[in-house]
């Protein structure tokens, strides 16, 4: 406890100035300034460098001055920090070193010259934590303003002993000495430490700015403590509008750390906050996620991968308002009666069919003209350019555009149409591209198309029969140039018709752009190597796995190369303008050329766009894969012990890779007995780790572990 000090009066100031004058004139202390300081006023004594060391403690007898004993509490400097610690050993070497157990629990070793003070107090008498708390609490209460007002008038550096005399004005113990030393070196706004163990007073302006800085730091510490208390209190909710700007920064640092861990920008600060809020948790990043969910900053089912990708999940207010005001304006376009086809897992298209007067037929494929509906660089267009594609999450898909572009019954809608003429033998003669106004006369689902194909009295019987025969011929023609195993016959007529007509429309648009030298984006893919060996794999799941593993990625190019997956060339996809931004851009390119006979996007513009599309598509594929696995693990959490059937895909260096027969989930297992590729084995689910995205399996018979990935 600090003792009351004598008031610094005018007479005391006169005596101090007189003593300083004597020191300057006669040089009684200047030659050895700060080295022959009196030691009788301190519990610890000073060594030859002016550093106080203990002399009165009984356990310090019969040892050299300045050498601590075991279990003695000492003050030392370590990496520019002043710390208290318990001496554990003094290593007597050529360069003596001291090992201590510091106040923050670390075992440190330092050179003996970094030893500042020997307290003469044993840790067996006073615990280090108690001693440290008392010293640092006393250090925070020290105010040297009165001493500074004396020293600033003469601007003379003061030794520590004179500052202690003026401040305490009585005999002081080791606790008071250390508290004053810590205050002068860390928090004092009035004195600056010098290299000669003295302290020079700051000027009036310097002291003012340092006091302001100290006040701001105190406010910052109070805001930090309040934030930590609020986050640690389970019963208290966090509303961001109630936080100060600095506290919002703390919350954002925790949010960034929860997403990116040690790679976040302020990871060190976030770790310090989380360690104080969640003291018992070891995994700090997982603790940060749980903390944000507990405080309702995030939802329980928050998709963290989507946040890391920084893909916007909601449309901006400007885009929503603009979408509400958009109305399909058809202008002077030619009206065309169509009927829409709605196959599952395929974008909707509309078709038209009529018999020509002099033989043959004419049919058309009609796509919602979103490029003409949404202006370039509008708010909706910018939002779509940020997403680049539709994200097909199984539970909650994220659209690229608002609900636009659907052919509604008996309503006019702008369309981009491709018309073909067919001769009497059913062969395609020529085609043309035009902007039309499509009026949907019927919506045909899979069941309606099957009914129309089998019922000769159905209004669309002749059209559906024609499209079924045409799609069959187109598919056979493509499969003669493609050995892609994924090119199998669709399970229903609607899907085959929609897919073949979409590919036919893309080929027509690509050839049209190439003939007119219009810059375009083409979809291409290299052939699969060793396709014959994949065909010979008997098990369908193993064959599918090897096919996907060896299939080259689909690329986007500005030159019309071959798409070996479909067995076609000049393929320019435009049928998915609501789910693929490249299709929307190509629609806008064609619309602009049809109106002005000039292209809107240059080759450089399209190259930049396709590079972005590559990156985005890879990112979306990874997001969908991770989220699908997360949903799978979530559905299995209450099914521990459930048995699964799996097939061996291939041998790894350790274990074998298997895939579940009924779920798209792969895992490495260690069966304990020889297995071959294509063998089916039984697994039992033994654990789920949703944080790591793992499912732990055990081989049913041999009890060997397996970890899913």
The full set of domains in the chain, from first to last, is 10-202 (2.30.30.140), 225-302 (no CATH), 317-625 (no CATH), 637-708 (2.40.50.140)
As a whole number, mean pLDDT of residues 307-336 equals 82
C-alpha to C-alpha distance for 50 and 68, rounded to whole angstroms: 16
Does residue 151 carry a pLDDT above 80? Answer: yes
As a whole number, mean pLDDT of residues 255-284 equals 88
Residue 55 to residues 45, 75, 92, 107, 229: CA-CA distances in angstroms?
6, 16, 21, 26, 44
* Whether 179 contacts 117, CB under 8 Å: no
Report the Cα–Cα distance between both ends of the chain, in Å, rounded. 61
C-alpha to C-alpha distance for 167 and 12, rounded to whole angstroms: 12
pLDDT computed for residue 213 by the predictor: 83
C-alpha to C-alpha distance for 173 and 150, rounded to whole angstroms: 24
What burial class does residue 546 get, using C-beta atoms within 10 Å of its C-beta: 0-12 exposed, 13-18 middle, 19+ buried? buried
Does residue 39 carry a pLDDT above 50? Answer: no
> In a 3-state reduction of DSSP, which class is residue 28?
coil
What 609-615 contacts at long range (C-beta under 8 Å, 24+ apart), as own/partner pairs, is: 609/521, 609/581, 609/582, 609/585, 610/521, 610/556, 610/557, 610/558, 610/582, 612/388, 613/388, 613/389, 613/556, 613/580, 613/581, 613/582, 614/555, 614/556
What burial class does residue 655 get, using C-beta atoms within 10 Å of its C-beta: 0-12 exposed, 13-18 middle, 19+ buried? middle
In tens, the pLDDT along 327-384 reads 666 667 888 889 888 877 677 789 999 887 777 788 999 998 888 888 888 888 898 8
Residue 488 — pLDDT band, cuts 50, 70, 90? low
As a whole number, mean pLDDT of residues 281-285 equals 83
Residue 1 — pLDDT band, cuts 50, 70, 90? very low
* Whether 289 contacts 258, CB under 8 Å: yes
Pairing of strands 428-444, 334-341: parallel
Residue 38 — pLDDT band, cuts 50, 70, 90? very low
Does residue 254 carry a pLDDT above 50? Answer: yes
pLDDT computed for residue 198 by the predictor: 87
Tokens standing for residue 25: 């004139």
Residue 47 — pLDDT band, cuts 50, 70, 90? very low
C-alpha to C-alpha distance for 698 and 682, rounded to whole angstroms: 9
Q: List the beta bridge partners of residue 440.
A: 338, 409
Pairing of strands 694-699, 81-91: unpaired
Q: Considering the entire predicted model, what is its pTM?
A: 0.70
pLDDT computed for residue 51 by the predictor: 41
In tens, the pLDDT along 506-565 reads 999 999 999 999 999 999 998 888 788 888 888 889 988 888 888 888 899 999 998 888
C-alpha to C-alpha distance for 204 and 198, rounded to whole angstroms: 19
Instruction: Write out the DSSP string of 481-536.
Output: S---TT----SSHHHHHHHHHHHHHHHHHHHHHHHTT----EEEBPPPTTHHHHHT
Which residues have C-beta within 8 Å of that of residue 65, sequence separation ≥ 6? Answer: 45, 47, 53, 55
Does residue 57 carry a pLDDT above 60? Answer: no
CA dihedral 541, 542, 543, 544 (to 10 degrees): 50
CA 314 to chain centre: 18
Percent of the chain topping pLDDT 70: 86
Q: Which residue has the tokens 């508290």?
A: 179
C-alpha to C-alpha distance for 670 and 698, rounded to whole angstroms: 9
- Computed over every residue of the chain, the mean pLDDT equals 82
As a whole number, mean pLDDT of residues 29-55 equals 38
As a whole number, mean pLDDT of residues 690-705 equals 74
Does residue 495 carry a pLDDT above 50? Answer: yes
> In a 3-state reduction of DSSP, which class is residue 599?
coil
C-alpha to C-alpha distance for 166 and 150, rounded to whole angstroms: 10
Percent of the chain topping pLDDT 90: 22
Residue 149 — pLDDT band, cuts 50, 70, 90? confident
**Strands annotated E in 319-427:** 334-341, 349-355, 361-368, 412-422
As a whole number, mean pLDDT of residues 394-416 equals 83
C-alpha to C-alpha distance for 38 and 57, rounded to whole angstroms: 18
Residue 22 — pLDDT band, cuts 50, 70, 90? very low
pLDDT computed for residue 19 by the predictor: 53
Does residue 100 carry a pLDDT above 90? Answer: yes
Does residue 505 carry a pLDDT above 90? Answer: yes
């Amino acid at each position: 406890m600090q003792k009351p000090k004598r008031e610094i009066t005018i007479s005391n100031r006169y005596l101090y100035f007189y003593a300083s004058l004597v020191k300057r004139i006669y040089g009684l202390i200047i030659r050895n300034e700060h080295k022959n300081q009196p030691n009788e006023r301190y519990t610890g004594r000073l060594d030859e460098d002016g550093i106080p060391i203990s002399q009165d403690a009984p356990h310090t007898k019969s040892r050299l001055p300045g050498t601590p004993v075991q279990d003695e509490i000492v003050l030392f400097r370590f990496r520019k920090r002043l710390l208290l610690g318990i001496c554990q050993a003094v290593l007597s070497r050529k360069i003596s070193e001291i090992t201590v157990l510091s106040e923050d629990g670390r075992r440190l070793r330092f050179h003996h010259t970094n030893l500042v003070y020997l307290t003469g107090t044993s840790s067996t008498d006073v615990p280090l934590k108690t001693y440290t708390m008392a010293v640092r609490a006393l250090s925070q209460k020290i105010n040297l303003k009165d001493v500074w007002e004396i020293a600033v008038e003469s601007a003379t550096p003061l030794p520590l002993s004179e500052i202690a005399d003026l401040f305490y004005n009585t005999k002081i113990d080791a606790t008071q000495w250390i508290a004053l030393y810590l205050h002068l070196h860390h928090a004092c706004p009035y004195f600056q430490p010098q290299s000669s163990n003295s302290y020079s007073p700051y000027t009036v302006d310097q002291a003012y700015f340092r006091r302001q800085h100290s006040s701001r730091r105190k406010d910052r510490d109070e805001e930090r403590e309040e934030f930590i208390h609020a986050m640690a209190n389970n019963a208290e909710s966090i509303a961001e509008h109630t936080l100060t700007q600095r506290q919002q920064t703390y919350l954002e640092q925790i949010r960034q750390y929860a997403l990116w861990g040690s790679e976040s920008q302020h990871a060190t600060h976030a770790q310090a906050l989380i360690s104080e809020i969640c003291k018992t948790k070891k995994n700090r990043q997982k603790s940060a996620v749980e903390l944000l969910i507990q405080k309702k900053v995030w939802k329980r089912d928050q998709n963290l991968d989507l946040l890391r990708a920084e893909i916007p999940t909601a449309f901006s207010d400007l885009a929503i308002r603009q979408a509400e005001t958009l109305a399909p304006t058809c202008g002077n376009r030619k009206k065309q009666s169509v009927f829409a086809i709605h196959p599952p897992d395929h974008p909707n298209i509309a078709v038209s069919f009529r018999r020509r007067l002099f033989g043959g037929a004419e049919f058309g494929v009609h796509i919602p003209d979103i490029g003409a509906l949404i202006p370039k660089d509008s708010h909706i267009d910018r939002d779509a350019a940020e997403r680049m594609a539709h994200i097909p999450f199984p539970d909650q898909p994220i659209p690229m555009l608002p609900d636009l572009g659907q052919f509604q019954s008996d309503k006019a809608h702008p369309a981009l149409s491709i018309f073909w003429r067919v001769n009497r033998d059913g062969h395609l003669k020529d085609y043309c591209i035009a902007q039309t106004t499509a009026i949907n006369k019927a919506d045909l689902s899979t069941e309606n198309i099957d009914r129309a194909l089998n019922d000769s009295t159905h209004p669309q019987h002749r059209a559906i029969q024609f499209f079924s025969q045409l799609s069959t011929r187109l598919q056979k023609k493509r499969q003669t140039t493609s050995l892609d195993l994924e090119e199998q016959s669709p399970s229903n007529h609607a899907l085959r018709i929609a897919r073949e007509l979409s590919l036919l429309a893309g080929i027509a648009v690509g050839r049209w752009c190439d003939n007119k030298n219009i810059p375009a984006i083409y979809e291409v893919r290299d052939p699969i190597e060793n396709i014959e060996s994949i065909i010979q794999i008997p098990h369908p799941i193993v064959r599918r796995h090897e096919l996907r593993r060896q299939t080259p990625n689909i690329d986007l190019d500005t030159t019309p190369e071959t798409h070996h997956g479909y067995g076609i060339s000049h393929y320019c996809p435009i049928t998915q303008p609501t789910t693929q931004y490249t299709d929307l851009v190509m629609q806008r390119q064609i619309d602009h050329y049809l109106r002005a006979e000039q292209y809107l996007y240059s080759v450089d513009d399209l190259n930049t766009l396709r590079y972005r599309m590559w990156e985005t598509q890879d990112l979306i594929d990874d997001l969908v894969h991770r989220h699908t696995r997360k949903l799978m693990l979530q559905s299995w959490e209450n099914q521990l012990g459930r048995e699964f059937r799996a097939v061996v895909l291939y041998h790894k260096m350790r274990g074998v890779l298997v895939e579940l027969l009924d779920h798209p989930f792969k895992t490495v297992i260690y069966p304990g007995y020889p297995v071959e590729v294509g063998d089916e084995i039984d697994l039992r689910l033994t654990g789920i780790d949703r944080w790591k995205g793992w499912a732990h399996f055990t081989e049913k018979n041999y009890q060997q572990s397996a970890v899913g990935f």
